[in-house]
Amino acid sequence: MSPPLPRRPRHLAAFLAAACLTLPAARGETLAVMGRLVHTMQGAAIPDGVVIVADGKIAAVGPAAGTPVPEGARVVRADVVTPGLVDAHSVVGLAGWLNQDQDQDQLDGTEPIQPELRAIDAFNPRERLVEWVRGFGVTTLHTGHAPGALVSGQTMVVKTAGEPPTVLRPEAMIAVTLGDTGRPEGDKKAPGTRSKSVAMLRAELLKAAEYRRKRADPDAAKRPAPDLRLEALARVLAGEIPLLVTADRATDIASALRLAEETGVRMVLDSAAEAYLLLDRIRAAGVPVIVHPTMRRAGSGETENASFETASRLRAAGIPVALQSGYENYVPKTRVVLFEAAVAAANGLEADGALAAVTIDAARILGVADRVGSLEPGKDADLALFDGDPLEYTTHCTGVIVDGRLVSDGPR
pLDDT at 98: 86
pLDDT at 411: 84
Please check whether residues 294 and 400 belong to one and the same domain.
no
Is residue 42 within 8 A of residue 10, CB to CB? The reply is no
Q: Average pLDDT of the chain?
A: 91
Please check whether residues 57 and 100 belong to one and the same domain.
no
Residue 4 falls within a domain, yes or no? no
Mean pLDDT, range 301-330, rounded to an integer? 92
- Looking up residue 385, the CATH number of its domain turns out to be 2.30.40.10
Please check whether residues 184 and 315 belong to one and the same domain.
yes
Q: How many residues does the chain have?
A: 412
In DSSP terms, 140 is beta-bridged to: 86, 159
Mean pLDDT, range 109-116, rounded to an integer? 95
Count of alpha carbons within 13 angstroms of residue 57, beta-carbon side:
9
Using the predicted structure, report yes or no on whether residue 14 has a pLDDT greater than 90.
no
Residue 285 falls within a domain, yes or no? yes
Using the predicted structure, report yes or no on whether residue 16 has a pLDDT greater than 60.
no
pLDDT at 188: 67
User: How far, in Å, CA of 222 to CA of 211, rounded?
Assistant: 11
Please check whether residues 318 and 264 belong to one and the same domain.
yes
Mean pLDDT, range 285-304, rounded to an integer? 84
What is the span of the domain harbouring residue 90? Answer: 86-366
Mean pLDDT, range 189-213, rounded to an integer? 95
- Looking up residue 104, the CATH number of its domain turns out to be 3.20.20.140
Q: Who's near 396: CB < 8 A, 6+ residues apart?
A: 14, 386, 387, 388, 411, 412
- Residue 169 to residues 106, 222, 342: CA-CA distances in angstroms? 18, 32, 27
Mean pLDDT, range 47-57, rounded to an integer? 97
Residue 1 falls within a domain, yes or no? no
Instruction: Provide the sign of the torsion angle of the four alpha carbons 23, 26, 27, 32, taken in this order.
Output: negative
Q: Kindly report which listed range (160-174, 182-196, 306-320) carries the lowest average pLDDT score.
A: 182-196
Report the candidate in 302, 270, 267 with the shortest Cα–Cα distance to residue 183: 302
Which one has a higher pLDDT value, 89 or 334? Answer: 89
Is residue 33 within 8 A of residue 67, CB to CB? The reply is no
Report the candidate in 356, 283, 349 with the shortest Cα–Cα distance to residue 312: 349
Q: State the DSSP H helix or E strand holding residue 83, giving kind and residue range, or none if neither.
A: strand 74-83
Report the candidate in 144, 206, 151 with the shortest Cα–Cα distance to residue 172: 144
Is residue 327 within 8 A of residue 283, CB to CB? The reply is no
Mean pLDDT, range 176-196, rounded to an integer? 87
Q: pLDDT of 342-390, one tens digit each? A: 999 999 999 999 999 999 999 999 999 999 999 999 999 999 999 999 9
What's the domain count of the chain?
2
| pTM exceeds 0.75 for this model | yes
Cα angle at 105 between 90 and 305, to 5 degrees? Answer: 40
Please check whether residues 140 and 170 belong to one and the same domain.
yes
pLDDT at 9: 41
